[in-house]
Amino acid sequence: MQPQRSAEALRYHKFGDPFEILSHETIALDPPKPGFVTLKILAAPINPADFGRINGTYGKLSDLPGTGGIEGVGEVVETGSNSGAFSIGTRVLFSGKPSSWQTYTLASENQLYPAPGTLDHLQASMFSVNPATAWRMIHDFVTLEPGDWIVQNAANSAVGKLVIQFASQLGVKTANLVRDPDTAEGLRNLGATLVLKDDKEAAKRIQSQTEYSKVKLGLNAVGGNSSLTICKCLSNKATLVTYGGMDRQPAIFPTRYLIFNDLSLRGFWVSEWYRNASRATIEGMHSAIAQKMDAGNIRTDIEATYSLEDWKAALEHSLRPGKTGKLVFNMGKSISTDSIEP
């Protein structure tokens, strides 16, 4: 019989402020049962959703005590008897379950997916959530053709940058709202068509530089007045998809745009999409995204990585304004941005 394995984990025993309730703990893992495997976690990013799940405001919460981290990449190091889906040494993706801010974990084989071989550990750790969110929003709500437009806010976020890159490959133009105009050059280098400061005049500037009938999709991650700006730019019968609320203010959708412009207001939560999609659909999407990323050299920017022991510094860094990329727990070591390939 396989012996118990010890794992380091960032745990919480109640919901609240992560800086107050998270603790770095050592936990014991039983050997995997049939249908389960033991994973060595290789890397796990810090996402905004992680804060929501820990403080108790996310759409689906973990049982207590919980472990932080909503996605990651791991390597199978042990298998239960009768396990056959993944062999030892296989690198796998997971999101939702199990949690990822730990060095080892038990996982059901049904919750794991092969990691794309074209991605390194750091990129693979961020593959399940942000690329899938960008991909599904571009493909699931309206039929976009070359020359059509997407208007989005939070364009400098990880999802925003991926939307720009995927859309550019499809010949779809993007009007991108940002809070810091200094990010414009970087976004244009990714393929952004327009980059504008997210202010009261942004709608007029977008309207003057786009073809109204072709502005078919709006993507809202901010809420508040920014969502109203997007509404003003959309063509008749266009769709506005809300997938975040960074401003923590109600999204503004005036009645006139629903009546006279016949806009459709939709929401998107990638975790719910995963829960409802078949394994074949999920693996097909993963394959398509990986091919696009490989062919177009598309990557998620990484600002820095941290060890699990330095979790407080990592979380503080993730909340700083003006970041250029994601923060990732690299379970092996911390590395500076100078050593991360673009």
Domain span at residue 255? 130-271
Least confident piece of the model among 92-101, 164-173, 252-261: 252-261
Give the separation between CA 319 and CA 336, rounded to whole angstroms.
Answer: 18
Asked whether residue 149 falls in the same domain as residue 262, the answer is yes
Classify residue 331: in a domain, yes or no: yes
- Residue 223 Cα to chain centre, angstroms: 18
331-340 average pLDDT score = 45
Residue 337 has pLDDT above 50, yes or no: no
Classify residue 286: in a domain, yes or no: no
Q: Residue 194's pLDDT is what?
A: 95
Give the separation between CA 34 and CA 82, rounded to whole angstroms.
Answer: 6
Residue 84 has pLDDT above 70, yes or no: yes
Residue 6 has pLDDT above 90, yes or no: no
Domain boundary among 250, 271, 292: 271
Domain boundary among 233, 250, 271: 271
The total number of structural domains that make up the chain:
2
Q: Tens digits of per-residue pLDDT, 8-24?
A: 999 999 999 999 999 99
Classify residue 320: in a domain, yes or no: yes
Asked whether residue 199 falls in the same domain as residue 237, the answer is yes
- Residue 108 Cα to chain centre, angstroms: 22
Asked whether residue 137 falls in the same domain as residue 116, the answer is no
Asked whether residue 160 falls in the same domain as residue 194, the answer is yes
Q: Tens digits of per-residue pLDDT, 163-190?
A: 999 999 999 999 999 988 888 899 999 9
Asked whether residue 248 falls in the same domain as residue 267, the answer is yes
Q: Residue 338's pLDDT is what?
A: 35
Asked whether residue 241 falls in the same domain as residue 266, the answer is yes
- Confidence tier at 3 by pLDDT (50, 70, 90): low
11-39 average pLDDT score = 93
SS3 content of the chain, % helix, strand, coil (to 5): 35, 25, 40
Domain boundary among 271, 291, 313: 271
Q: Assess contact for 11 and 20: CB atoms under 8 A.
A: no
Q: Tens digits of per-residue pLDDT, 264-277?
A: 999 999 999 999 99
Instruction: Record the pTM.
Output: 0.90
Classify residue 26: in a domain, yes or no: yes
- Confidence tier at 46 by pLDDT (50, 70, 90): very high
Residue 101 has pLDDT above 70, yes or no: yes
Asked whether residue 177 falls in the same domain as residue 121, the answer is no
The catalytic position among 12, 58, 113, 257 is: 58
Residue 59 has pLDDT above 60, yes or no: yes
Q: Residue 246's pLDDT is what?
A: 72
> What CATH number corresponds to the domain at position 244?
3.40.50.720
Asked whether residue 262 falls in the same domain as residue 137, the answer is yes
Q: Residue 12's pLDDT is what?
A: 95
- Confidence tier at 333 by pLDDT (50, 70, 90): low
129-157 average pLDDT score = 96
Asked whether residue 17 falls in the same domain as residue 83, the answer is yes
Average model confidence (pLDDT) across the chain:
90
**Residue percentage of the chain with pLDDT more than 70:** 94
Classify residue 37: in a domain, yes or no: yes
Asked whether residue 167 falls in the same domain as residue 239, the answer is yes
Classify residue 277: in a domain, yes or no: no
Residue 305 has pLDDT above 70, yes or no: yes
Asked whether residue 104 falls in the same domain as residue 205, the answer is no
Q: Residue 332's pLDDT is what?
A: 63
Asked whether residue 245 falls in the same domain as residue 186, the answer is yes
Least confident piece of the model among 27-31, 245-249, 336-340: 336-340
Least confident piece of the model among 3-7, 157-161, 208-212, 308-312: 3-7
Give the separation between CA 251 and CA 94, rounded to whole angstroms.
Answer: 31
* Residue of 242, 236, 241, 243 lying closest to 258 (CA atoms): 236
Based on the residue annotation, tell me whether 243 is a catalytic residue of this protein. no
> What CATH number corresponds to the domain at position 90?
3.90.180.10
Residue 322 has pLDDT above 90, yes or no: no
Residue 64 has pLDDT above 50, yes or no: yes
Q: Assess contact for 69 and 44: CB atoms under 8 A.
A: yes
Classify residue 285: in a domain, yes or no: no
Q: What are the distances in angstroms from CA 39 to CA 81, 293, 296, 308, 312?
A: 15, 26, 30, 16, 24
Residue 294 has pLDDT above 90, yes or no: no
Classify residue 163: in a domain, yes or no: yes
